[in-house]
Structure 1
Amino acid sequence: GNEALQTEYRNTLKPFYGVLKTMDGSIKFGMLTGVTKFGKVSVFSDLNNLDDISMREPYVGICGMTEKEIHDNLDLELHELAAARKITYEEVCAKLKEYYDGYHFVENTEGIYNPFSLLNTFKYNKFGSYWFETGTPTYLVELLKRNHYDLERMAHEETDADVLNSIYGDDQPIPVIFQSGYLTIKGYDERFGLYRLGYPNREVEEGFIKFLMPFYTRFNKQESAFEIQKFVREIEIGEVDAFFRRLQSFFADTPYELIKDLELHYQNVLFIVFKLVGFYVKAEYHTSEGRVDLVLQTDKFIYVMEFKLDGTAEEALQQIDERHYARPFLSDIRKLFKIGVNFSAKTRNIERWIVQ
């Protein structure tokens, strides 16, 4: 975020790369690696014969492991991990895929596993957020907030190659979030040249969303984990009122400067809470035109919720019926709750909820 310091760094690096160019007759092979792109800035103007292989198909596996490589070289470790976790070999393979696979540097190519997380999992025979915990993406979160970014978009952001390859800046958070590994390529529309981005795996998605909470609510990192645990337990035992009283506390005492765009702030907080709850129960979350609808499912209960901003809880409940949000669950044996919720711009909090 410090433009003057960035310029100073570039001015220091520029002559270094210039010397590399003049000595290229003596260099058989050189490889530069890093996180963010500098190919289009003046720092490399003296080294214009670089071949950027970041999004080139022959090199997709260079920075990680494929599933075949894991099975060919680490089969013994897979069995040891399964025994240590007291699960089957098939279950351990599926869990590794869910947690650490999913990086794509080029469209329509095999997923790459995060080698750092994978090797640490084998080292300690335990699943963990090994890569995520090596660095905290504070700068990225500040960038999202400064740009009033709708967090729900991140899981299905669409953009083109020019944006993905652009140098980072305060005007658009997506390039630096993609280049630093928190998003990856999930799909490609060849006709329009558009890439669909998303989280690569559970380690990154869960870690990033947990990290977001203290930036959008008054709860710190330790408190957030306990709050989410309580949310999940209340959902699992059908304590709807306790759940919404806790949700109210997430909006209470939020510093006013955080809420320049009230509607977006309220959607972002709901998104973070329900996304984290969704790692433990089944959750579907949708937003459009200033409203939110949500479905939460547990072994015993199904909750269909509609959130309004400056409407009424009655209107929210009516919309659930009019748009038949609960219809897919009418024949389900689980107990169904329909919940209308109204959020007040004046109080900057949940004003009322009705449960049916």
Structure 2
Amino acid sequence: MTTKQFLPLPYGQDDFDNLKADGCYFVDKTSSLKDVIDTDKAYVMLFTRPRRFGKSLFMTMTESFLKINSDNPGDTTLQQKSFKDTKILDDKEFCNKYMGQHPVICLTLKGVQGKTFKAAYYKLAELIVAKAKEYSFLKDSPALNDDDKETYANLSRKSYLRKYNEESLSDATSSIINLATMLYKHFKKQVYVLIDEYDVPLAKAQEYKYHEDMVALISSLFDFFKTPPKDPKTNELYVKKIIMTGCLKVAKNSIFTGVNNLYVNTVTSQLKQYTGMIGFTKEDTYKFLKDYELDDFAQKVKDNYDGYKFYDKEMFCPWDVVNFIKENFDFKQQGLMSKVKANNYWETSTSSSAVYEYLGYLTDSDTQKMQDLVDGKSISFKLNDSMNYDCLSQHLPNDFWSLLLHTGYLTVDWDKTDVLNPEDSSSDDIAVKLPNLEIKDCFEKNIKKRFSDVFVNLKLPGKFIKSLVKGQQEDISNILFDMLQKYVSIRDTATKAPLENYYHGFINGIFTNCEGIISEYHSNYESGSGYPDISFKAERNTKAVIIEIKATSKAEEMDELAAKALSQIEEKNYALPFLKQSKITDIYAYGIAFCKKDCSLVVKNLKTKL
């Protein structure tokens, strides 16, 4: 065992000052501070990256660098200690101009959530009160007038903001700009506003069905972005710059409407000074492993956690790297090489609730794309770079893939994307792939999870197939009806996508859990003179099932549509390939019509062997 002294690992550390105070290992990203703070003149900057990529640590590092000492303005003792031996201290001109020279409002919105809008608002109120109390010196500041001090007192009282009336709501949504204005008056210096995980409230609101209310709240909170207030005497903006992080760019709703000087940097952006700013580069990762004497396992780490490509940079998720070292360091030191494992750490750190919004709407093309990804291939689609939570209700396939890209399930295949987009092309086609083995595992588990849990718990696959291959119309109707009542909401079917796509996806979801029970399963596969929605064999290939799906918004049309679906199977000879196989004794054709949470079906045996 080595006698080398190792620094504590930054496990779960997203606060820069705490990390440095604890003497933890630090991957130096400070050289990016100049680009963000000084070089780029955008008033609002938004950086979107997947969860667990180090966004919060970067934001608290930025806060620590800029933040003025309220007791002794101009004193940078804390910064000199925290940033000792970092790259940014080499740029003395920049440090003299910015380090410890500005008031900062830094807040994270990741806790602003709840099962109801009011519960989420209360969390915002608590955040505002805690932030206001950080600036307790303002209540006695001679630079503030009586109105300012009254506003400050209101923002410092939880009981006031929790009144949830028109007056308290107005103060809550004006809290950031009002605090910034007061800080500007007190220090006579422009304020930097840092907002981390700005889109978490929107994601949770979408999940719990109060999205419109949350959009209105966040839009009001950020309203000052559009017309930034100025000091009437100097014409100087109270807020110098706003820096934000999140997973998705929100553009189609009112949050950023009217914000002119806005720069958004996503996982598809090509500005090289920002590509390696958040996350670990390959060089960062290999040095980290070497510093903890785990460089022998660099290939294992690469296979399982590498593969993200932010334009010119090969990137690793910091959460994975830190966890790998934490779990395996002692094994390596003790010589227990066989115990060194690359476990899946990302799975427990991400939510798939937004992904589940799309499961019922996946087309056959999308299903094939999923299989191609699992097989190690790249797929292509038209990128929605402004993918946001408003898009979920439309259930468009390109938005589904865009969501997976922005949330870390996929990464850009830049070589193939360049082929799709020649220099003179204005195409927004993009090629993507699964980045690594860990994400492949998450992808397979999470995409199937919603259906798997349901069907395994209820033991439905066997019952459903048994009923289908025996033509048991009533049993099938009951199984489908129960499933529709419990797992399909009317809201789910309120989509711009064709209704049949939703129910086709729903039925496909059932059959994903029938492996080993059925064979030769096909969806929209050429047969006879057309393409039946679903067909398969069962019971040692002696039974065949053909399903044609219809959908309507009018319940009175279901019976007629189910009959039409069955007629379509016969008229287009979908059963022809099965009729030619003597081994098959029964061919059951089903016409199924869906309407919201109900269905109607008819069945006919197209071949009965005497």
- Per the normalisation by structure 1, the TM-score is 0.59
Matched, 1:56 2:270: yes
Report the CA distance between 1:120 and its aligned residue: 1.0
The amino acid across from 1:166 in the alignment is M
Q: Distance in 2 between the 1:220 and 1:211 partners? A: 15
Q: Deviations over 1:131-160 (max 9, x none)?
A: 221133033123222455633324344223
Residue of structure 2 equivalent to 1:238: none
CA contact (8 A) 2:249 2:388 kept: yes
Residue of structure 2 equivalent to 1:130: 345
Report the CA distance between 1:179 and its aligned residue: 1.8
Q: Distance in 2 between the 1:43 and 1:263 partners? A: 35
CA contact (8 A) 1:217 1:250 kept: no
Q: Which among 393, 406, 415 is matched to residue 179 of structure 1?
A: 406
CA contact (8 A) 1:100 1:117 kept: yes
Residue of structure 2 equivalent to 1:158: 380
CA contact (8 A) 1:211 1:221 kept: no
Between Structure 1 and Structure 2, how many residues are aligned? 270
Q: Sort the Cα spacing of 1:218 and 1:64 in 2 relative to 1 into closer, same or farther, 3 A.
A: closer
The amino acid across from 2:262 in the alignment is L
Q: Deviations over 1:156-198 (max 9, x none)?
A: 442234x232334122223322222222212302225320122
CA contact (8 A) 1:36 1:179 kept: yes
Q: Sort the Cα spacing of 1:344 and 1:22 in 2 relative to 1 into closer, same or farther, 3 A.
A: farther
Residue of structure 1 equivalent to 2:567: none
Q: Which among 393, 418, 435 is matched to residue 200 of structure 1?
A: 435
Residue of structure 2 equivalent to 1:324: none
Report the CA distance between 1:268 and its aligned residue: 6.0
CA contact (8 A) 1:178 1:184 kept: yes
Structural mapping, 1:167-316, within 5 Å? 167-168=388-389, 169=391, 170-171=393-394, 172=396, 173-186=400-413, 187-188=416-417, 189-191=420-422, 192=425, 193=427, 194-217=429-452, 255-256=479-480, 257=484, 290=525, 310=546
Residue of structure 2 equivalent to 1:12: 217
CA contact (8 A) 1:185 1:198 kept: yes
Q: Distance in 2 between the 1:140 and 1:19 partners? A: 32
Q: Deviations over 1:45-66 (max 9, x none)?
A: 2432111121233222122111
Q: Distance in 2 between the 1:286 and 1:51 partners? A: 48
Structure 2 unaligned segments of length 5 or more: list them.
Answer: 1-205, 231-235, 329-340, 468-475, 489-499, 527-543, 547-574, 593-610
Report the CA distance between 1:30 and its aligned residue: 3.1
Matched, 1:121 2:324: yes
The amino acid across from 2:270 in the alignment is R
Query: Identity over the aligned pairs, expressed in percent?
Result: 17
Q: Distance in 1 between the 2:361 and 2:243 partners? A: 35
CA contact (8 A) 2:249 2:264 kept: no
Q: Sort the Cα spacing of 1:212 and 1:222 in 2 relative to 1 into closer, same or farther, 3 A.
A: farther
Residue of structure 2 equivalent to 1:22: 229
Structure 1 unaligned segments of length 5 or more: list them.
Answer: 83-88, 225-246, 275-284, 292-307, 317-339, 349-356
Residue of structure 1 equivalent to 2:248: 36
Q: Sort the Cα spacing of 1:73 and 1:221 in 2 relative to 1 into closer, same or farther, 3 A.
A: farther
SS in 2 for 1:159: strand
Which of these two proteins has the greater Rg computed from alpha carbons? 2
Q: Deviations over 1:313-338 (max 9, x none)?
A: 7979xxxxxxxxxxxxxxxxxxxxxx
- Per the normalisation by structure 2, the TM-score is 0.37
SS in 2 for 1:74: helix
Q: Distance in 2 between the 1:220 and 1:159 partners? A: 31
Q: Distance in 2 between the 1:184 and 1:129 partners? A: 18
CA contact (8 A) 2:276 2:315 kept: yes
Residue of structure 2 equivalent to 1:277: none
Q: Distance in 2 between the 1:152 and 1:286 partners? A: 13
The amino acid across from 2:265 in the alignment is I
CA contact (8 A) 2:359 2:506 kept: no
Report the CA distance between 1:211 and its aligned residue: 2.5
Q: Sort the Cα spacing of 1:197 and 1:10 in 2 relative to 1 into closer, same or farther, 3 A.
A: same
Q: Distance in 1 between the 2:303 and 2:458 partners? A: 26
Q: Distance in 1 between the 2:213 and 2:457 partners? A: 38
Q: Distance in 1 between the 2:361 and 2:386 partners? A: 21
Q: Distance in 2 between the 1:146 and 1:288 partners? A: 14
SS in 1 for 2:431: strand
Report the CA distance between 1:344 and its aligned residue: 6.4
Q: Deviations over 1:32-51 (max 9, x none)?
A: 11112213432112432111
